[in-house]
Structure 1
């Protein structure tokens, strides 16, 4: 009844196994990856045709940790898994980043990747297993995916790199002076696709060495996925990128000069208006058949990208007129909100963050219910990105994936310089309100957060900038 394919290898101190053919056979690709006794099922499904008018690649990645995986019952009134936790959202983004660029250019069919933690041994982190499972499922599904990728977590103890340190080793990294690094690297055979880390004042050479070490360690994982695909892969989906070279030539002839002049504006608001006017001028110059072409938006974007990339690569000039080495004008102000514990307004060019710090007691610590147990966190950083920060009308509500991800990015940077709880026994909450954005608002949150915490009297080991 089942045509099961299973491949295994020794990876570090554990056995890594990839299995397909028994569970969820109606999905385009399903792989259960197991490292030690941590198992994650990845399912891939994709639409066989593109929605009419689709002008972007609709890839969705979901990651869910089932409480039964660790022999637990969910807390709360309903006693079942509900909306994704912060950790689940961050892991979904972690998986998304390295796989998204590997889909064939021009492929715009809907793709859904679902990763479900089925078993957790409380030793091997499920996020690494999930990324490997997702890569394997995509590779065997037939979707136009130019993978596979592999991934690994790297620790750093006593001057030595550690492959896939345990969950306990990575928990409470700030309070573990022996463990100075939590680095996740994903990549293909030839290149690194994604790096994410929490580091405690490592040198540049130590960080680069960790990335190199990780890339070496993922090579056998990639080979294992290829071995699985050679036996279990489905026929490749018949996809040929649409040739819209004639349309692009018409768009370029109609408006390259005006579009180039529009992107010559160094003020963001003026540039946005000028680019919109250039797009309308291009449309006015096209015939009805060209205007009705579903690839018109792609042709416009291709023209804009070629202008911007050409300015940077050939002229060394960025979109706001700066060279590649110039820093935008920076203005910092602290103590601007009289009734808050600490506040700072950090402005860098047309990007601005209002960071506010509040101090509390142990009763204010955040309770986090995870598969490996319930624990408390005495440092929180919340990042808010309202539509007005980019002069737009948009959704207002609970934080989205991007806001959660950017907040965690800034959290990692500031976490490393916080005082020990024994020296500063307070709960710290930093809120970064992005009031203007023209790039790098997460790093403005790092700078503003550092300033506002110092304004609140938090004895940081050192100021942090990004």
Structure 2
């Protein structure tokens, strides 16, 4: 039966029971002219998977904005980076909110069918997914709400229109339940910690209203939830592990070295499996299940032991950052490079500077085609964790980590007029033990400065964690290692300068909601750690190199009158193409008249600059050219000083020995050195003399 629900305060309208009725849950969600359909389907897992097999996808139809896809195939194909990022946003918000013993396959799909360019579909898709889940048979510990907070003209605005977001200098996406926040992601122009926490709790008040509305929807739809069958007797096997993991065994796992600790973990697990081998075989219990229970109980016991011992598994104090080493300029033929190592995490970063032709053009459903002059690509290589794995294209995690690191520099990079280069950063993770995205941030800062990119401030990043014991006490961990990411209740990445936060990503597994003082402690500890890392970076470099590498082609930029752009380009691009071909340069002209010429320093680059300025009418007496004779007349000769631009060498400006018989001495296509005598910027006439 079709039912409609409205939340007038936010302009929400959701329809249940009309669309996609063979899905376990479906929500047709509207706000203004933006329409999203979110569906969820579950299926029993054939074997125990050892993790929650949740697949989350977000798709944008080009028809939603009245567009046809570019390219040869003219249809939607592999997910765009933005679709991957929104998919991850939804996944990270809903994944912690399923029962710990629920392991059915789940597929969530949100499809954007209409966009009015006022109401953005991203957080709407997350809310619609929550509604689809709470009105389905799938056991879900939500609902959840989501908002986008933007700082516009110094004030924080809740879910502004698309046009208003273009003026925003900070964007923070917040999701959570009525109990607390469980997912945050954002980029910002130096937000201080106290302001950031205020924004989170303002957003949470809105989320509470969204959640209350969804509870009313779930109550009226009244869908019965499927029963979770305990096929393995969880309590029995948890008891087995609990008895096995005695204090002396746990003590053996507190080891500083990762490789040695990993061997100790593996040995302990093998001992446990061997001790119950006959029972496992007799009951035909999934070995994956037994290992999962072992890891789950071990995680809880080790966490409690950290509180007792007052230090972490690698024997660090809770606020200690691992040892850091940094090297810059180690790749001799790169424009800039750095290697950043923190503990066992090592990132090799390179910077390449290019021209306008190297900009990345990105088609977008909501916006017009974007031209990106800054790219950051993150590669997580299998050998970084000692694995054998085929190399494929970048996965969702790699796209997400690269996006987070790139967001850290959005308000740090120089503008196009000051530094008209296209910048590409590539990070290869050579060794991984947690915090690789933040190592990417730190390594990228050093590589940018090594390349001579005039960034306004140095950026560092740190990953924070959170653990809790059986007494409900919390400890915040600085610079978490890989194992702490898996064991902890929170993964909280913060990047910024000494002036404030520039990017953040937070995932909270704790379902009860965290208090303000926990956030305050985490952010203050993160700031202390971030500044410590910044200090280590400043021991190597404190500011960008004054000069670019000699390997970097130069970019010269200047403005020409907008009304003269057509004169420079010429019919069907004839003039500009000829200049590019003859000077071996790359030339870009923006709509506002900004010209960027990219080429190696020398005569040809100088020639290209002179030619473009001439075509644009930026001509002054005394300018000299090597011109070609185009036409000989009774009153002189017309000389092409640049492609598409002629000047008159009048007979009166010729030397005496040439005036008498210049018609015989000069031939068409002869090359002459000439100098501008006068230029009329109204008529465009140029008078020349021989130089």
TM-score by length of structure 1 reads: 0.94
Q: Is residue 19 of structure 1 aligned with residue 9 of structure 2?
A: no
Q: Check whether the contact 1:28–1:142 (CA below 8 A) recurs between aligned residues.
A: yes
SS at match of 2:303: helix
Unaligned 5+ segments in structure 1 are: none
Q: 1:419: which partner in 2?
A: 414
Displacement of 1:223 in angstroms is 2.0
Q: 2:4: which partner in 1?
A: 6
369-378 vs 217-226, which moves further: 217-226
Q: Give the structure with higher Rg (CA).
A: 2
Distance change >3 Å, CA 352–CA 305, structure 1 → 2 = same
1:429 to 401, 424, 431: 424
Distance change >3 Å, CA 287–CA 332, structure 1 → 2 = closer
Question: Equivalences for 1:130-145 in 2 at 5 Å?
Answer: 130-145=125-140
Supply the RMSD in Å over aligned alpha carbons.
1.6
Count of residue pairs the alignment pairs up: 455
Quote the Cα distance in structure 2 between the aligned partners of 1:350 and 1:279: 24
Displacement of 1:257 in angstroms is 5.3
SS at match of 1:124: coil
Q: 2:196: which partner in 1?
A: 207
Q: Check whether the contact 2:36–2:128 (CA below 8 A) recurs between aligned residues.
A: yes
Displacement of 1:183 in angstroms is 0.8
Quote the Cα distance in structure 2 between the aligned partners of 1:395 and 1:149: 37
Question: Equivalences for 1:44-193 in 2 at 5 Å?
Answer: 44-47=40-43, 49-171=44-166, 176=167, 179-193=168-182
Quote the Cα distance in structure 1 between the aligned partners of 2:247 and 2:307: 19
Q: 1:362: which partner in 2?
A: 356
SS at match of 1:169: helix
Question: Equivalences for 1:173-322 in 2 at 5 Å?
Answer: 176=167, 179-241=168-230, 243-256=233-246, 259-291=249-281, 292-294=284-286, 295-322=289-316
Q: Check whether the contact 1:256–1:303 (CA below 8 A) recurs between aligned residues.
A: no
Quote the Cα distance in structure 1 between the aligned partners of 2:73 and 2:153: 46
Quote the Cα distance in structure 2 between the aligned partners of 1:275 and 1:259: 10
Q: 1:29: which partner in 2?
A: 25
339-348 vs 238-247, which moves further: 238-247
Displacement of 1:83 in angstroms is 0.5
Distance change >3 Å, CA 396–CA 259, structure 1 → 2 = farther
Q: Check whether the contact 1:4–1:22 (CA below 8 A) recurs between aligned residues.
A: yes
Q: Is residue 343 of structure 1 aligned with residue 337 of structure 2?
A: yes
Displacement of 1:278 in angstroms is 1.4
- Per-residue displacement from partner, 1:201-254 (whole Å, max 9, x unpaired)? 111122112111111112221122122212224211112555422222223434
Q: Check whether the contact 2:378–2:399 (CA below 8 A) recurs between aligned residues.
A: yes
Displacement of 1:10 in angstroms is 2.5
Quote the Cα distance in structure 2 between the aligned partners of 1:447 and 1:427: 20
- Per-residue displacement from partner, 1:39-85 (whole Å, max 9, x unpaired)? 110001001x3322322110110110011111111111111000000
Q: 2:451: which partner in 1?
A: 456
Quote the Cα distance in structure 2 between the aligned partners of 1:165 and 1:109: 37
SS at match of 1:147: coil
Higher relative contact order (CA 8 A, sep 6+): 1
SS at match of 1:444: helix
Q: Check whether the contact 2:101–2:228 (CA below 8 A) recurs between aligned residues.
A: no
Displacement of 1:32 in angstroms is 1.0
Q: Check whether the contact 2:48–2:103 (CA below 8 A) recurs between aligned residues.
A: no
Q: Check whether the contact 1:5–1:231 (CA below 8 A) recurs between aligned residues.
A: no
1:397 to 386, 389, 392: 392
Quote the Cα distance in structure 2 between the aligned partners of 1:374 and 1:233: 44
TM-score by length of structure 2 reads: 0.64
Distance change >3 Å, CA 153–CA 11, structure 1 → 2 = farther
Q: Is residue 325 of structure 1 aligned with residue 319 of structure 2?
A: yes
346-355 vs 230-239, which moves further: 230-239
Quote the Cα distance in structure 1 between the aligned partners of 2:116 and 2:8: 17
Q: 2:531: which partner in 1?
A: none
249-258 vs 413-422, which moves further: 249-258
74-83 vs 206-215, which moves further: 206-215
